[in-house]
Amino acid sequence: MTATLDRPSPAAEAPADLVARLRKTYAGGRTRPEAWRRQQLERLRALLTENEGELAAALYADLGKSSSEAFITEVGFTVNEIDVALKHLSAWMRPERVSTPLNAKPAKAYVVREPLGVSLVISPWNYPVQLLLAPVGAALSAGNCVVLKPSELAPATSAAIARLVPRYLDPEAVVVVEGAVPETTALLEQRWDHIFYTGNGTVGRVVARAAAEHLTPVTLELGGKSPVIVAADADVTTAARRIAFGKFLNAGQTCVAPDHVFVAESVHDELLRALAAAIEEFYGKDPAQAKDFGRIVNDRHFARLAGLYDGGGFGRTVTGGSRDPETRYFAPTVVDEVAADAPLMGQEIFGPILPVIPVTGVDAALARINAGDKPLALYAFTKDEDTAQHIIAGTSSGGVTVNHTLLHLTIPTLPFGGVGESGTGAYHGRSGFETFSHRRSVLEKPAGLDVKLLYPPYSALKDKLLRRVL
C-alpha cells in the first residue's frame, strides 16, 4: 500500500487535521471488519520479515545491537505477537455470552468488543521496534486507527519506521509522526480515544495529565528498580548466568532488567564469582570487542550512568567499571557492598551496572523491596517452591519470573504491565486486544413477551414476589 499523492506528509499535516482525518476513516467503518484487521496484521508482519536487515542495521546504528539480539528482542518478538493475534483474532472478536439472572429472563446477555477509535502510541528508544509495533499490532487487531510516535532518540530506527509504514499499512488509518518534544506535545493536545505510552514515570505523568483533559484512557508502561532475590538454596551458577543475561542484554537498557540483587550472605561470595564468570563467558575478557554487547544510546544517558557509578556508595567493583565516552561503551559492571543511600540505589539504573547487596535472608530482602515503589518486575532464585510462593505473596510487582529473568514478558498469554509507580494497564496477546477495545454490554429481550411484575402499581403480592426474584 502507498500513500495517495494529494495528501500532505505527516510532518506537514497539522495534528488536529491528522486526527480529524483518522476520525473520518474510523467513522466510516473501514477498520471494523475482521478482514481489514487481519490484512493489516499480515502487512505488519511482512514489514518486519521483509525488512529485517534494514531494521537490524538501524538498531545497530542507534544502540549497537547485534543482528541476533535485534531478532530475538525486536523483530522476532513482535512477529510472534502478531502471529498470536492472527491465530486467535476470530475468537477474540466473537461475542461473549454471559448468564442472565431470573429477574431479567427471558433475555439474551452478551459482551461485544468494539474498537475504542483513534489511538496514539508513543514508544521509547530502548526497544524502538518492539515497543512501538507490538502495541500498534494490538491496536490494529482491535480495529483502531492509530498514530505512531517513534522515539527521536533512536533516529535511524524512527526514520526506517516512518519510511516503511506507509508502504505496508493502510495510510487512511495508520500514520507515523516523527519528531521530538514539540511534536509529542502537539499530539498530546489532541483528543484521543486511547493513549499508549512506554517510557519513564516523569513523562508518564505528563501524558496522564494531558489525557485527563479529554478523559482519555491511558496505558502507561513505565519502569522502576526491578529487584532480584537469590535465596541460600539457589543454584548459584545458573542464577548468575540468567541474571547476567537479563541485566546486560541491550547494555542494561531494558525496563525489566534486573536492577539490583539481594543475595543471602551464605552464597554472596559464590554469586559474585559466578557473575564475573558469566560475564566473561558471554562477552569475553574484553567486552568492548564483543559483537553482542551494545552501547549506551546517547551522551546524556552515558553521562548519567557515569555519574551514578562515580558517585560511589559501594565498597568495591567486582568486575567492569571501564568506559569510553567516545564510543559510549560502558563495560558490564558488578559492584558490591552497596549502601542503601548510594546514588545507584536512588533511581532506576537503566544501564550495565549491577549492585549486589548481601542480606541475612529472604525476609530481609522482602523488607527492603516493600520499603520502595512497586517494581515492574521481580526475580527470585530458589529451589524451594514454598520459598518462591512466600516471595510472590510477600511482594507486589508488575510481573514475576522465578529462576530466570525477563522471560515472563515473552509469554503472550500473560498480561504485561506495571502496578503503581511502574505503570498502569497491560498488553501482549489477548490483553493487548482488550486494552484497545471497549467491552460493551448488550441485553436483548423479546418484544412480544412483557412481564408486568416490575411495573407499578405495587401490591403486597408483587412486593413478595419481587423480593424473591431480585
Half-sphere exposure for 263 (CA within 13 Å, toward CB): 28
Cα–Cα distance measured from residue 342 to residue 355, given in angstroms and rounded to the nearest whole number? 10
Active site residues: 221, 255
**Structure-derived torsion over alpha carbons of residues 265, 269, 275, 281, reported in degrees to the nearest 10:** -150
Cα–Cα distance measured from residue 463 to residue 449, given in angstroms and rounded to the nearest whole number? 21
DSSP letter for each residue of 183-228: HHHHHHTS--SEEEEES-HHHHHHHHHHHHTTT--EEEE-----EE
Name every residue whose Cβ is closer than 8 Å to that of residue 285 and which is 6 or more positions away in sequence.
none
Cα–Cα distance measured from residue 130 to residue 254, given in angstroms and rounded to the nearest whole number? 12
What's the sign of the alpha-carbon dihedral 241, 247, 252, 257? positive
Cα–Cα distance measured from residue 75 to residue 138, given in angstroms and rounded to the nearest whole number? 15
Helical (H) or strand (E) element with 263? strand 260-264
Cα–Cα distance measured from residue 427 to residue 26, given in angstroms and rounded to the nearest whole number? 22
